């Protein structure tokens, strides 16, 4: 992942350039104000994908916590089917 850093004035002066950069790279752009980190800007597709990944990780952590707590195992096929359904559902949102 390449870190892209721009001064905050760039978004006011060159919105289209920042928007295009986000879409083309799929990476967030970090904006600074007075030399300090201020905002992170990313295109909506990248944001949506990251949200899906975070949700899936949360589910996996939950499953692992249940396994460690001794809660009866969920068959791998069921977990796989549930994750596929979740991915499909999020892809159509």
4-20 pLDDT, tens digit per residue, is 888 878 888 889 999 99
Q: Which residues pair with 32 in a beta bridge?
A: 7, 37
* Neighbour tally for 22: CB within 10 Å: 20
Closest CA to 65 of 53, 55, 77, 57: 57
Spatial distance between the Cα atoms of 61 and 34, rounded to a whole number of angstroms: 39
**What are the residues whose beta carbons fall under 8 Å from the beta carbon of 48, sequence distance 6 or more?**
90, 93
Question: What pTM value is reported for the model?
Answer: 0.61
Quick one: pLDDT band at residue 93, thresholds 50, 70, 90?
A: low
> pLDDT (tens digit, 9 = 90+) per residue, 43-73?
999 999 999 999 999 988 988 888 888 877 6
* CATH fit for domain 4-42, picks 3.30.70, 1.10.287, 3.40.50, 3.40.1620: 3.40.1620
Domain ranges of the chain: 4-42, 45-91
């Amino acid at each position: 992942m390449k870190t892209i850093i721009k001064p905050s004035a760039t978004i006011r002066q060159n919105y289209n350039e920042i928007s295009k950069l986000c879409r083309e790279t799929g990476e967030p752009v970090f904006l600074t104000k007075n030399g300090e980190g201020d905002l992170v800007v990313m295109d909506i597709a990248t944001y949506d994908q990251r949200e899906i990944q975070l949700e899936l990780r949360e589910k996996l952590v939950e499953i692992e916590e249940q396994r460690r707590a001794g809660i009866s195992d969920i068959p791998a096929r069921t977990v796989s089917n549930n994750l596929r359904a979740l991915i499909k559902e999020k892809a159509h949102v």
